[in-house]
Amino acid sequence: MMTEGRDFVSDSEVKKDVTFGHVDPENRKEISDYYGFEVVNKFSKVAEETTFDKMIDYRQEQMRQGCLRVATAREGKDLIATSVVVLKDMADGRHTLGKEIESNEAFAAGTFILPSKRGSEVAKRLATEQEKITEEAGKKSILTEIDYNNSPSMRFRMNKMGYCLYGTKIQDKDGQELYVYRYKKNLENPEDVGPRDPANQPPWVEKIKVGELKIHDSEVNPDSPPEIFISPDNIKQIQVALDNNYKGVSLISPELDFSNEKDKPLDKNYIVFIKD
């Protein structure tokens, strides 16, 4: 069994003064620090009908019931990142953080890293810890949802952590339609949708360079090639691809993947979809 509040060991790729730990459900100050960090950084918002203190009580109850776990990264005493996992509904039946999950699933409900600390190994360490929390709770897969335009998060979850895009959702945000994509990683069988180990993925960038992998601008159908790519802006095309048994596995970005090419083969980010 895991001890609440334990540290998980840092490795050499993370700056030496970064320590990782878990928020202890019995330590109200730690809960207040983690939630305050999210609020100050505008990653969470205290709803008008409640107060910060009431939210801490509520989070504490959710953590005590084992519905929610929070992993943290600190430099000295200061939080630099937090990462939340939802494990189940509350005892009264309410969905924890509004996340609907099956009994064998967990939900990666939000990782926030201070902008100046991004691009290090911190995200990977926290996401790996989310997977450990999920496994320790006896669950088989971890899900997450990401806005269509949150490229760093999509690239991080697919290209580095091996999640696949398997669903779409349209949400109302301030009266506007917001596209959200659903991702999952099967922890029992990470290879369930093709080569899910990011290190073993086919060389998509090379395939694009030699013209083997092309933008799919016609309607996806059962005869479409087994590897195609579609813009994250195009939710309709993505839904048709999912209906035809494709799964999204990688975000390709012209600035990052073709940084040395004067004439870039892509003018914006695209998601690679594959089918079994």
Ligand X SMILES: CC(C)(COP(=O)(O)OP(=O)(O)OC[C@H]1O[C@@H](n2cnc3c(N)ncnc32)[C@H](O)[C@@H]1OP(=O)(O)O)[C@@H](O)C(=O)NCCC(=O)NCCS
Q: How far apart are the C-alpha atoms of 33 and 197, rounded to whole Å?
A: 35
DSSP secondary structure, 246-273, as one string: EEEEEEE-HHHHTTT-SS-S-SS-EEEE
Stretch that binds ligand X, among 22-30, 107-115, 168-176, 197-205 (CB under 6 A): 107-115
Residue whose CB is less far from ligand X, 25 or 181: 181
Minimal distance in Å, beta carbon 158 to ligand X?
Answer: 10
Stretch that binds ligand X, among 4-12, 70-78, 94-102, 118-126 (CB under 6 A): 118-126
Q: Which residues of 23-56 are buried (b: 16+ CB within 10 A; e: fewer)?
A: bbbeeeebbbbbbebbeeeeebeeeeeeeeeebb
Q: Does 112 bind ligand X (CB under 6 A)?
A: yes
Minimal distance in Å, beta carbon 159 to ligand X?
Answer: 6
Say how many residues touch ligand X, by CB under 6 A: 19
Distances (CA, A) of 120 to 77, 125, 127, 143: 19, 10, 13, 23
DSSP 230: E
Minimal distance in Å, beta carbon 209 to ligand X?
Answer: 17
Minimal distance in Å, beta carbon 113 to ligand X?
Answer: 4
Residue whose CB is less far from ligand X, 36 or 152: 152
Residue whose CB is less far from ligand X, 146 or 220: 146
Distances (CA, A) of 227 to 131, 156, 182, 269, 272: 28, 20, 20, 16, 7
Among 62, 153, 231, 237, binds ligand X (CB under 6 A): 153
Q: Does 231 bind ligand X (CB under 6 A)?
A: no
- Give the pairing of strands 176-186 and 141-147: antiparallel
Q: Does 152 bind ligand X (CB under 6 A)?
A: yes
Minimal distance in Å, beta carbon 150 to ligand X?
Answer: 5
Residue whose CB is less far from ligand X, 72 or 159: 159
With contact defined as beta carbons under 8 Å apart, do 31 and 63 qualify?
yes
- Give the pairing of strands 105-113 and 141-147: parallel
Q: Which positions lie near ligand X, rule CB under 6 A?
A: 110-113, 118-119, 123, 146, 150-153, 155-156, 159-160, 253, 256, 269
